[in-house]
Amino acid sequence: MALTQTNFTIEQGEDLVFTLKLEDSDGLPLPDLADAKFRMDVKKQPTDTYPVWSFQTQGVEVDVDYDGPEGEPAELDTTDDVTINAETGEIHITVDRAFTFKPLVRGGGVFTYDAFLDRGGKRRKILTGTITVNKSVTIWED
């Protein structure tokens, strides 16, 4: 399994699911995913210290505790909306529309991310790229 560069585009206000298919060199679903864990952090700039969002499978601890600029509360949100189908080798990442309305994301723009897969305690970066958030005219937050 090689590191893959993938860029996504999402529209502000949409709920969506990204599906990643993990395959071995023979094109078969990657084995040993039954107890695998996944985490993907999204940052405004690659050099930012903290992510604006973290997506992970259930049970992954995200240990980020900080104050935002000028003592404001931290902007980091996390979600357990990542599932792994061990039989098909698919990872499903659910992106709630709330992500696109966060103060740091609300104006749209390009964000950077990378993702790690943990199989049996061995972590490997499997994905990297950008997420472009296109600003919408209609702002329907509820």
For 79, the token pair is 């979600």
Q: Specify if 140 maps to a domain.
A: no
Say if residues 43 and 51 touch (Cβ distance below 8 Å).
Answer: yes
Type of residue numbered 114: D
Q: What CATH number corresponds to the domain at position 68? A: 2.60.40.10
Q: Specify if 103 maps to a domain.
A: yes
Q: Per the structure, how many domains does the chain have? A: 1
Per-residue model confidence as pLDDT tens digits over 71-82: 444 445 555 689
Name residues whose C-beta falls within 8 Å of residue 67's C-beta, 6 or more positions apart in sequence: 73, 74
The pLDDT assigned to 117 comes to: 93
84-96 mean pLDDT: 90
pTM: 0.81
pLDDT band at residue 23 under the 50/70/90 scheme: confident
The pLDDT assigned to 63 comes to: 61
Residue ranges making up the domain that contains 83: 4-134
